[in-house]
Amino acid sequence: MTVLESTERFTAARRQGGWRTWLALALVAMIAGVAVWLVWFSSVLSVQEVRVVGATGVPVDQVRTAASVRVGTPLARVDADGVAERVGAIPEVGAVEVRRGWPDVLVVVVTERTPVGVVRAGPGFAYVDATGARFGSASTRPAALPVVRPSDETSLLAGVQVVDSLPADLRARVVAVVARSRDDVVLSLRGGALVQWGSAEQAEAKIAVLAALLPLKAAYYDVSAPDLPTTRGTLSGS
């Protein structure tokens, strides 16, 4: 074989290899295009169900309406942050997580607010959670929740944080919380005793001190400085 023949064969092989490379690249591009079309534009992977998880007090239909996602919308194109924002605007909802359940389900996970007390709202009451957020309403005070009487939003937050820090047995004895400031929270217990709690800080120490003092049946307990607690008076009938 001459040098010229070898050169011609090498050139032909290179041309054939280049043609195959371009064909492979074209196939890859076509497959990618089909995949993009399937995921982003076709109805094959579109929303057929909006599934709501965790909603007990909030109606499921209300969550779906707030989510505002039409059946048939490509699942990949759903604005998950927008859905979370709209559902999170429901007053009773504390947190929202939006998941894509391939191939055709949008899952909206709702965490509802947990009330720790109620505040006055017109002729009735509104529930309030540990973040100070108001939601829902009640015409009369729920027996299991204390009435929080704040002087402003800062004191409201301090008041609900104090209630939230209490163990269940002590919380059940609280009928009212007066929050004059973030450092001046007073608990009113069933039976008439008052507890000067102070701020929401040092909750564990204050709980332990108050538990030790309650058997004294005093009318007034001051645990705002848990290292130097005081009591005053005696409940009538004790």
Q: Which long-range contacts (CB under 8 A, 24 or more apart) does 36-42 make?
A: 39/74, 39/75, 39/76, 40/74, 40/76, 40/77, 41/74, 42/74
Per-residue pLDDT of the chain (238 residues; tens, 9 = 90+): 554 445 445 455 455 555 566 555 555 555 544 444 444 455 557 899 999 999 999 999 999 999 999 999 999 999 999 999 999 999 999 999 999 999 999 999 999 999 999 999 999 999 999 999 999 999 999 999 999 999 999 999 999 999 999 999 999 999 999 999 999 999 999 999 999 999 999 999 999 999 999 999 999 999 999 999 999 999 876 5
pLDDT at 31: 53
Contact between 183 and 197 under an 8 Å Cβ cutoff? The reply is: no
CB neighbour list of residue 98: distance below 8 Å, 6 or more residues apart: 78, 80, 81, 83, 84, 106, 107, 108, 109
pLDDT at 20: 61
pTM of the model: 0.78
Domain boundaries, the chain: 49-112, 115-234
115-234: CATH homologous superfamily? Cell division protein FtsQ/DivIB (3.40.50.11690)
DSSP bridge pairs for 93 = 112
Q: Is 69 helix (H, G, I), strand (E, B) or coil?
A: coil
Instruction: Give Cα separations from 34 to 25, 28, 42 (angstroms).
Output: 14, 10, 10
Q: How far apart are the C-alpha atoms of 149 and 219, rounded to whole Å?
A: 20
Helices (H), 89-177: 153-165, 168-171
Contact between 124 and 161 under an 8 Å Cβ cutoff? The reply is: no
Is 49-112 in CATH node 3.10.20.310?
A: yes
Map tokens 């450092």 to a residue: 183
Domains 49-112 and 115-234 alike in fold: no
pLDDT at 125: 97
